[in-house]
Amino acid sequence: MKQYQLPLLFAAVSLFLIGLAQADEAQRLRGLRFDFQVKLAEMIKPLRELDEKYGEHLEKQKQNHKNSGQLEAMLAVDEELKWLKGKPVEENPSKGSSLSSFPDLKRLQEIYRKQWAALEDKSALPDKKLVLIQSYRKKSSDLSVEWTKEGKITEAKLALAESKRFAAMEKNAELAANAGRSVASGPALRTGKFFAGKNAGDEMKNGIQMKLCWIPAGKFTMGSPKSEPERDAEKEAQVEVELTRGFWMGKYEVTQKEYEKVVGSNPAKFIDVGRNAPVEQVSWNDCLVFCKKLTELERKSGKLPEGWTYTLPTEAQWEYACRAGERGPYSGGALDEVGWYKNNSRGKTHEVGEKKANAWGLHDAHGNVREWCLDWISDKMSGGENPTGPTSGINRIHRGGYWNFPYYACRNAYRSRGAPSSRNSSIGFRITLISTR
Q: Along the 437 residues of the chain, how does pLDDT read in single tens digits? A: 545 454 444 444 444 434 444 567 778 888 888 888 888 888 888 888 988 999 999 999 999 999 999 999 899 889 888 888 888 887 778 766 678 888 888 888 888 888 887 777 666 677 777 778 888 888 888 888 988 998 888 888 888 988 888 888 877 776 666 544 433 333 333 444 446 777 889 898 898 999 999 999 999 999 999 999 999 999 999 999 999 999 999 999 999 999 999 999 999 999 999 999 999 999 999 999 999 999 999 988 888 888 899 999 999 999 999 999 999 999 999 999 999 999 999 999 999 999 999 999 999 999 999 999 999 999 999 899 999 999 999 999 999 999 999 999 999 999 999 999 999 999 999 999 998 87
On whether both 99 and 231 belong to a single domain, the answer is no
On whether both 347 and 287 belong to a single domain, the answer is yes
State the DSSP H helix or E strand holding residue 131, giving kind and residue range, or none if neither. helix 125-149
- Could you tell me which of 107, 95, 93, 100 has the C-alpha nearest to residue 72? 100
On whether both 163 and 219 belong to a single domain, the answer is no
Q: Which residue pairs, CB below 8 angstroms and at least 24 apart, start in 145-153?
A: 147/25, 152/21, 152/22, 152/25
On whether both 240 and 142 belong to a single domain, the answer is no
User: Which one of 130, 145, 178 terminates a domain?
Assistant: 178
Phi and psi angles of residue 25, each rounded to the nearest 5 degrees, phi first: -65, -40
The residue range of the domain holding 381 is 192-435
Three-state SS at 374: strand
On whether both 309 and 337 belong to a single domain, the answer is yes
| 98 inside domain | yes
User: Which one of 153, 178, 203 terminates a domain?
Assistant: 178
> How high is the pLDDT of residue 227?
95
For residue 380, count other CB atoms closer than 10 A to its CB: 11
Q: Characterize 398-418 residue by residue with b for buried, 16 or more Cβ atoms within 10 angstroms of its Cβ, and e for exposed.
A: bbbbbbbbebbbbbbbbbbbb
Residue 232 CA, distance from chain mean position: 37
Rg of the chain (C-alpha set): 29
On whether both 32 and 141 belong to a single domain, the answer is yes
> Can you give the CATH number for the domain in which 350 is found?
3.90.1580.10
Question: How many domains, the chain?
Answer: 2
> How high is the pLDDT of residue 130?
77
Q: What is the DSSP string of 232-261?
A: -TTTT--EEEEE-S-EEEESSPPBHHHHHH
Side chain identity at 173, as an amino acid letter?
A: A
